[in-house]
């Protein structure tokens, strides 16, 4: 009888412990926010890799493993080119010289003069043929020299920035200024790797136009106590009297690449000076406790209005441009800021198991936290965050990039698009529209370039097929109003041609001169290509800001490799080229956690 009593006691003890564990989240919810096991939703905690993963993952291996037929790849390349051509030709036929194409009604769209508060439109559209300008270097990358030359001449002959348009400084910089500079660099490149993109009697007109636009944006940097710019300017009259004193971190801190290129091409430090001053001002406002930045700041007081720290809207390109400014200009200060920022991101935003492709626990995910405490603020992520795996590729953190990309791919497979916001706890979209954003395509392309794994060609094929199936309209490609219902909105944003189509085309075009010419290129945050060469690493000035002599110190070529990130490219061995980048049991785990299976 003693052994029966002992057995009964153990059983009661086990039931009691289970009841206690069930009550703990309700009694002390903070316990669910520990770094490695953060997710309060039960379906997250229960998703563990199963034993016998190879057998369970046969479906994934059958679909994705092995080589990718060259003939299929060529057809997909042509399909991506056809997608761009249909969108571009539709814009030129139905919308030019207006800024955007309405693909459902086959007409053009410009600023909303009747409603100045319609920032969704007016921040972007300045009555300067935005889509044509934004698409210039995509024409070159696809080798269409005749249309590139025609488009450049149209821009020179018809576009003026002397417009009574109030635009967002950030959008005008990355979409318009960046494209003008990219096209100028392509035209004046003595090697002409994309074919003959020269313009007869070209007299640096695009560079002069870029200069004119940048001068019109400069008032945003005046009369601000912190050096952080106003978010908007009127291209004729400067900062509007009713302009707010609040701006997002990415909007104010992601101007350095374009402004820096312009300064170094002109030999005028003014533009780089104001952009770099804004970056430093934001950086100096980071939390002393976590090292994180918020997403909205008051430009006069330096007070954080938005205290959310994440990788999506409001912060994304700030981190991106810390690294890309270093790559382009070689300023050691930029690398140091990025290194510190990346380390703080890993310490406070990253959740899930330590390694992507081994161990137990939830898959790695980057969440939104309070900048001062590091505590979880909400349970959604946004589609802009899908750029981050591509940024991780640039620093060599490929293994972590593989896992995060797989998460976004699972969401794409479920909906055929990425909702603007996705709630990982509820397994449902919080904001269900998809405006043809390129970030997921960009990361897919960069991961393929880093790994040469055919898996990412399959991902690209899924993206291409989804866009054709769900977003193609009578005269172009349309925003999805709702990713579940697949209803459309009458808008084709300019970045669809400048980024989404470009990255898809390059993914399938292995022989593209961008890959084979021997030149080194970098993509801006709007997908515009700029050559990485010595002329951008040499400035005519030594001290960008007085009293900060060390900040202008140039880095050595190996400095980026020497930074102690959590992993590097060597962690992805050659023998994995034709295997799944992520083990099939982990892929199944991620598919389950988004409700795909």
DSSP structure class, residue 444: H
The CA-to-CA distance between both ends of the chain, in Å, stands at 48
CA distance 492 to 471: 10
Could you tell me whether strands 107-109 and 166-168 are parallel, antiparallel, or unpaired per DSSP bridges?
unpaired
Q: Which residues, including other chains, have CB under 8 Å from residue 423's CB and lie 6 or more apart?
A: 379, 380, 429, 430
Q: Please give, one letter per residue, the 3-state secondary structure of 114-153.
A: CCCCCHHHHCCCCCCCHHHHHCHHHHHHCCCHHHHHHHHH
Q: Which of 425, 423, 421, 443 is nearest to 433 (CA)?
A: 421
CA distance 541 to 308: 37
Plot region of 249 (φ>0 → left; ψ -120 to 50 → alpha; else → beta): alpha
Could you tell me whether strands 296-298 and 521-523 are parallel, antiparallel, or unpaired per DSSP bridges?
unpaired
CA distance 296 to 231: 11
Q: Catalytic annotation on 439?
A: yes
Which residue in 258, 331, 439, 509 is the catalytic one?
439
Q: Which of 38, 103, 132, 61 is nearest to 458 (CA)?
A: 61
DSSP labels, 192-238? -TTS----TT--SHHHHHHHHHHHHHGGGGSS-SSSPPPSEEETTTB
Given a contact cutoff of 8 angstroms between Cβ atoms, the answer to whether 442 and 503 are in contact is: yes
Residue 198, annotated as binding a ligand = no
CA torsion 49-54-60-63 (nearest 10°) is: 170
- Among positive and negative, which fits the CA dihedral 152, 157, 161, 165? negative
Q: Which of 249, 245, 255 is nearest to 292 (CA)?
A: 249
Q: Which of 59, 61, 73, 129 is nearest to 101 (CA)?
A: 129
Which residue in 331, 333, 420, 526 is the catalytic one?
420
DSSP labels, 228-281? PPPSEEETTTBS-TT--SEEEHHHHHS-HHHHHHHHHHHT-THHHHHHHHHHHH
Q: Catalytic annotation on 489?
A: no
Q: Catalytic annotation on 331?
A: no
Q: Catalytic annotation on 420?
A: yes
Which residue in 171, 320, 333, 442 is the catalytic one?
171
DSSP structure class, residue 372: T
Which residue in 99, 205, 316, 334 is the catalytic one?
316
Q: Please give, one letter per residue, the 3-state secondary structure of 448-507.
A: HHHHCCCHHHHHHHHHHHHHHHHCEECCEECEEEECCCCEEECCECCHHHHHHHHHHHHH
Binding residues for Ca(2+): 525
Binding residues: 525
What residues act catalytically?
A: 171, 316, 420, 439
């Amino acid at each position: 009888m003693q052994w029966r009593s002992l057995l009964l006691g153990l059983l009661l003890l086990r039931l009691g412990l289970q009841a206690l564990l069930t009550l703990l989240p309700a009694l002390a919810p903070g316990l669910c926010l520990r770094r490695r096991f953060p997710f309060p939703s039960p379906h997250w905690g229960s998703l563990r890799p199963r034993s016998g993963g190879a057998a369970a993952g046969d479906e994934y291996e059958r679909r994705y493993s092995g080589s990718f037929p060259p003939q299929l790849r060529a057809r997909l390349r042509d399909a991506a080119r056809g997608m761009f051509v249909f969108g571009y030709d539709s814009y030129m036929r139905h919308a030019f010289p207006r800024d955007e194409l309405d693909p459902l009604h086959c007409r053009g769209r410009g600023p909303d003069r009747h409603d100045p508060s319609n920032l969704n439109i007016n921040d972007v559209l300045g009555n300067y043929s935005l889509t044509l300008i934004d698409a210039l270097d995509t024409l070159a990358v696809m080798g269409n020299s005749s249309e590139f030359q025609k488009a450049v001449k149209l821009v020179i002959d018809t576009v003026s920035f002397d417009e009574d348009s109030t635009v967002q400084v950030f959008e005008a910089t990355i979409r318009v200024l960046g494209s003008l500079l990219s096209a100028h660099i392509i035209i004046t490149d003595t090697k002409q790797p994309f074919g003959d993109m020269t313009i007869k009697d070209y007299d640096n007109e695009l560079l002069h136009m870029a200069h004119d636009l940048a001068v019109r944006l400069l008032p945003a940097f005046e009369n601000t106590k912190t050096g952080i710019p106003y978010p908007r300017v009127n291209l004729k009259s400067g900062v509007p009297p009713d302009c707010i004193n609040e701006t997002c971190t990415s909007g104010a801190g992601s101007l350095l690449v374009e402004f820096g290129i312009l300064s170094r091409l002109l030999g005028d430090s003014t533009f780089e000076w104001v952009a770099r001053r804004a970056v430093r001002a934001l950086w100096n406002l980071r939390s002393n406790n976590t090292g994180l930045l918020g997403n909205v700041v008051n430009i006069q007081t330096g007070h954080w209005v938005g205290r959310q720290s994440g990788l999506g809207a409001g912060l994304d390109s700030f981190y991106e441009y810390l690294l890309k400014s270093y790559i382009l200009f070689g300023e050691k200060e930029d690398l140091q800021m990025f290194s510190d920022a990346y380390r703080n991101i890993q310490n406070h935003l990253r959740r899930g198991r330590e390694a992507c492709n081994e161990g137990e626990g939830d898959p790695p995910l980057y969440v939104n936290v309070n900048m001062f405490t590091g505590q979880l603020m909400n349970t959604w992520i946004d589609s802009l965050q899908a750029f981050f795996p591509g940024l991780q590729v640039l620093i060599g953190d490929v293994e972590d990039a593989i896992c995060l990309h797989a998460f976004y791919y699972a969401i794409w497979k479920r909906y055929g698009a990425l909702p603007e916001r996705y709630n990982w706890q509820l397994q449902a979209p919080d904001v269900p529209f998809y405006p043809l954003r390129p970030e997921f395509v960009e990361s897919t392309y960069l991961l393929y370039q880093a790994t040469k794994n055919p898996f990412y060609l399959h991902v690209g094929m899924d993206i291409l097929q989804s866009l054709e199936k769900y977003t193609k309209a009578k005269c172009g490609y349309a925003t999805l109003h709702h990713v579940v219902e697949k209803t459309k909105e009458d808008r084709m944003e300019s970045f669809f041609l400048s980024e989404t189509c470009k990255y898809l085309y390059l993914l399938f075009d292995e022989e593209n001169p961008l890959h084979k010419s021997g030149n080194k290129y970098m993509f801006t945050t709007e997908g515009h290509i700029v050559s990485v060469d010595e002329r951008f690493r040499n400035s005519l000035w030594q001290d960008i800001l007085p009293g900060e002599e060390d900040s202008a110190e140039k880095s050595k070529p190996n400095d980026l490799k020497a930074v102690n990130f959590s992993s590097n490219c060597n962690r992805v061995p050659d023998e994995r080229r034709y295997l799944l980048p992520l083990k099939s049991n982990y892929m199944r785990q991620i598919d389950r956690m988004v409700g795909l299976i």
